[in-house]
Structure 1
Amino acid sequence: MILLIILVVLVFCFLVKAIQIVPNASAVVVERFGRYSRTLDAGPHFVTPLINTIRSRVDLREQSMAIAPQEVTTRDHRRVDIDVTVGYQVADARAAVYGVDSFTQAIEQLAVATVRGTVDGMDLEPALTSREVISTVLRSALDRDAVRWGVAIRRVDCRVAAASGPVTGSPAMEVHADPYTSPFAPNGGSAGPRNPPQPLARTSRVPGHRPLGQGDPRRIGRYSLTAVLGQGGMGTVYLGQSPGRRLVAVKVIRSELAEDPTFRRRFAIEISAAGLVGGFHTASVVDADPHGDPPWLATEYIPGPSLQEVLKQQGAMPPRTLHTLAVGVAEALERIHACGIVHRDLKPANIIISDSGPRIIDFGIARALDSTGLTSTNYVIGTEGFVAPERLTGGAVTAAADLYAFGMVLCHAAGAAPLAAGESLASAVSLLPSRLAGTVNRCLDHDPRHRPTAAEVLELLSQDDLSAGDWLPLPVRTMVDLYSPSSGSAP
């Protein structure tokens, strides 16, 4: 009897946790294992505990945002006070949750940048009599960018008045006073009447970039370092800037690896080989010093989120995106393999989704870790879930291993969760569209001799016409745009 009561209580608790009542004029974004799953409209819904979690609750009613008063200096060095009120309404809950870190912050920063960029090109008298003109310019800028964030702008009200007293400004907003250095400035720099500067190095915040810490170097070689891009098994990757203000990604090797002379020799060989690759689907090597203290490697900086970031925020990719991703990665692998290089660690984190298509990073360098005193006999370079089976049993490392990883990357992009050891690949392949499934199935063959080459994959997949439309869904395009120099997001 006691067990029955306990069971009833557990079932009751499960149902209470699982049933979600979404209020009217609201939406709920649900994630499954940390990735987007679905959006719930108003009404009762069943959400499985432990598997599904509530990512965000969104109010779909019209909201009003009063932006802190701004004190702006006009072209004739006079001061004006500007008050802005924006009425908005969430139209796409998913884009509002994943489009930017905070759409309210994005609206506020874009509004401030646009108003300042417009008013500081005017004299005092025109500014005081141009409330409607300023409001129109602001509404146009907000309409264009807010729709990408899942938000519809309903109204914009702008009040301009002469200021008195010393110029104080708004410290919270002066960081983005120029619309062309704001991370949310309109594409093409149309927020104000001036022409934007050329997209070289910038200092505004970019998604995924972390400020330098106390222990991080400030300069490597001739490159000044401005941010941390990521960290991995070999070391830390920094955003660097050349004397000519060109951006590079600088990988600084860990000290324990740098102390191993075998690693340094292999690292130098792999740098030389990787320098031959180039191409528009990889990050080209531009500079390196394998004998430095510490050793380092600089590659072309490609603005854009990694495929891993995209999948974490947006979930499975649609068929067109999957197909373009497959063609782009296959083309890159064909070039890499033609230079005699095996990537050895192809995975979503090493694929950048850029404005010009998918780009592969870190190709060939993982080989430098082999034959060092820091790797044990059973150590395998690579990432669990993407390592070919022959590598787990001590087989030879060939280009076929990259094709296995290529197949797993596409399964992952189609929505497959990481597979447990010994689990069948059939369920993962079944998530792919039919025109990809057959090719990927061959790439995942247990015998590397039966896998196609990258050139064969490219020939099979490039027969389809992909010329029409954007290959990225809107929320992903928004993520990419935030890194793009044309939107002012690049540092």
Structure 2
Amino acid sequence: MSPDTLLMVANVVCSTLTVVLAVMAVKSVPVGRVFLVHRFGRYHRTMEPGYRFLIPLVEKVAHRVDTRLRDFPVAPLSVTTRDRGRIRVEISLYVQVVDPLKSVYGIDDHARALERQAHQAVRVLLEPRDQETALAARTEIGSTVVEELTALAESLGIRIDRVLVNPSVEVPAVGQGSLGQQPAQLAAGSLGRSEQPATPAPVPAPGPVGPPAPDGVGHRPLAGDDPRLIGGYQLLRRLGEGGMGTVFLGQSADGRLVAVKVIRGQFVADAMFRRRFTREVETARRVSGEHTAALVDADPVGDPPWLVTEYIPGPSLHQVISRQGALPAPTLYMIAQGVAEALQGIHGSGIVHRDLKPSNIIVSEAGPRVIDFGIARAADSSALTRTGHLVGTPGFLAPEQLTGGTITSATDVYAYGMVMCHAGGVAPLPDGQPIESALGMLPTGLRDLVHSCLAPDPAARPEVAHILERVAAPAAATVDAWLPPPVRTMIDLHAAATVVEPQAR
């Protein structure tokens, strides 16, 4: 073969090899990702997404993947349960990349696939159930979602670390067809009597208003003889009844929910009762604090007299104990702290509550709230009612209340101890039963503290500030998980009971 022929063949081979190598050198870096380009040795460079030229067999593309544990929220899901209840399910997935080669496009690009799978799993799990059991299924929902997503996540090079699920009652916003749930933390509003609207709203015809409340909630429709409008507040449901009157769920002119206490007709002409109710209003004005219910409005001289406080969606501690029994330690510590903070605010206003008990404590998602200052008095006041009448609730009365002794803030501390005993699962003590046997059901960290609160001598009981010092750290450690699912479900059901069909106004 002649030299010219060899040169021609060599040129053809080189040209072909150059074309092949050029084709091999052009690589597409996936859109939206940053890649490191490595050369065997010390050389490296960073390349932007798109088509790039690489040196064949020398440079390689390696995906830079963030392998830290990350979380992303799944789009909220609305589920209609068997009894036509509407449940809103919010899910947060905590995931981690474990295989960068499979997860070329990262977690965010796979979020929609995970979201669709999670939504499908939740619907299959919740739709056949009624509202209450669906709300109570938080743990089961989380386990099911993790199981459903694991196989998909593995195929994407992702590990599901944990799933947080928060199902709650879906409540329409005010002005969108029905009365929506208002925030638990309502502004106190004016403490004076509210001005009447320029054109009074027409009173609806008598008869029950609104559907029945969910099971386990004490809210009831209005009765035929119940008022529909008090002081400019539209009444929507009955929340409860007491010896003095009825408490209603009401709505203010600006759409927020309130609790309206209306005094019974037979007390209106009782001068002593009028003075007592006026004193209750004055007391409520003085009391402030995060863990009490703020007074919004009142008219103690009206016919009938009434007062309005912020509405706190949630069951009373009495309802919680009656339905769920003994509460777990994290819940007990949060109640211990919240009620103690409420007492600190009450006593700081110069007031003694005098009737602290589980039915006067509302368990809300934001923590416990102390309500009802019907027999609260200034700390230096004398006896409240006629001679021979006990003030307070049997089972929570301090010894000095039974013997006619001086009522001080230590009286509330005694009732606080009894509240914690009941919350820990202790029924009222039979005569002759030693207190030590009842205290045995409380967590160790609360046992000695509660025992000291129940000291017969008021001077031997701890100050509220000391109680807060003892319970603050354990409560802070459990603040993210203090509500057991059954109690959270009760709160959700109380929120659901505030959804009322629109009434003629």
Identify the TM-score tier after normalising by the shorter chain: 0.5 to 0.7
CA distance in 2, matches of 1:198, 1:226: 10
2:218 corresponds, among 205, 208, 214, to 208
- Which residue number corresponds to residue 326 of structure 1? 336
Residue 245 of structure 1 deviates from its aligned partner by: 1.7
Task: Tell me whether 1:278 sits opposite 2:278 in the alignment.
Answer: no
- Which residue number corresponds to residue 250 of structure 2? 240
Are the equivalent residues in 2 in contact too, given 1:263–1:371 (CA < 8 A)? no
Task: Tell me whether 1:149 sits opposite 2:136 in the alignment.
Answer: yes
Are the equivalent residues in 1 in contact too, given 2:81–2:126 (CA < 8 A)? no
Residue 416 of structure 1 deviates from its aligned partner by: 0.7
- Which residue number corresponds to residue 224 of structure 1? 234
Residue 112 of structure 1 deviates from its aligned partner by: 11
Q: Which is higher, the Rg of structure 1 or of structure 2?
A: 2
- Which residue number corresponds to residue 72 of structure 1? none
Deviation per residue, 1:249-300 (Å, 9 max, x gap): 1111233433222332343233123213232211111111111111111111
Counterpart residue identity of residue 473, structure 1: P
1:477 corresponds, among 473, 488, 491, to 488
- Which residue number corresponds to residue 139 of structure 1? 124
Q: 1:219 to 1:379 in 2, by over 3 A?
A: same
Q: 1:382 to 1:188 in 2, by over 3 A?
A: closer
- Which residue number corresponds to residue 158 of structure 1? none
1:352 corresponds, among 359, 362, 372, to 362
Q: Secondary structure at the match of 2:323?
A: helix
Q: Which structure 2 residue ranges, 5 or more long, are not aligned?
A: 1-79, 90-116, 145-165, 183-208, 501-505
1:187 corresponds, among 136, 161, 168, to 168
CA distance in 2, matches of 1:404, 1:109: 46
Are the equivalent residues in 1 in contact too, given 2:171–2:499 (CA < 8 A)? no
Residue 150 of structure 1 deviates from its aligned partner by: 4.7
Residue 363 of structure 1 deviates from its aligned partner by: 2.8
1:108 corresponds, among 67, 83, 107, to 83
Deviation per residue, 1:406-441 (Å, 9 max, x gap): 100110011111123454322221211111111111
Residue 361 of structure 1 deviates from its aligned partner by: 0.8
Aligned residues: 334
Are the equivalent residues in 2 in contact too, given 1:483–1:490 (CA < 8 A)? no
Residue 106 of structure 1 deviates from its aligned partner by: 5.3
Are the equivalent residues in 2 in contact too, given 1:400–1:449 (CA < 8 A)? yes
CA distance in 1, matches of 2:231, 2:171: 37
TM-score by length of 2: 0.59
Counterpart residue identity of residue 470, structure 1: A
Q: Please show how residues 456-467 of structure 1 align to structure 2 within 5 Å.
A: 456-464=466-474, 465-467=476-478
CA distance in 2, matches of 1:366, 1:140: 49
CA distance in 2, matches of 1:473, 1:137: 20
Counterpart residue identity of residue 109, structure 1: R
Q: 1:392 to 1:110 in 2, by over 3 A?
A: same
TM-score by length of 1: 0.60
- Which residue number corresponds to residue 299 of structure 1? 309
Q: CA RMSD in A?
A: 3.8
Residue 479 of structure 1 deviates from its aligned partner by: 1.0
Q: 1:308 to 1:490 in 2, by over 3 A?
A: farther
CA distance in 1, matches of 2:421, 2:406: 24
Percent identity over the alignment is: 49
Counterpart residue identity of residue 479, structure 1: M
Residue 215 of structure 1 deviates from its aligned partner by: 2.5
- Which residue number corresponds to residue 30 of structure 1? none
Are the equivalent residues in 1 in contact too, given 2:326–2:424 (CA < 8 A)? yes
Residue 379 of structure 1 deviates from its aligned partner by: 1.1
Deviation per residue, 1:94-152 (Å, 9 max, x gap): xxxxxxxxxxx9533137999xxxxxxxxxxxxxxxxx999888437649975543597
Deviation per residue, 1:142-190 (Å, 9 max, x gap): 499755435979x9xxxxxxxxxxxxxxxxxxxxxxxxxxxxx963859
Counterpart residue identity of residue 139, structure 1: V
Q: 1:365 to 1:222 in 2, by over 3 A?
A: farther
Are the equivalent residues in 1 in contact too, given 2:246–2:263 (CA < 8 A)? yes
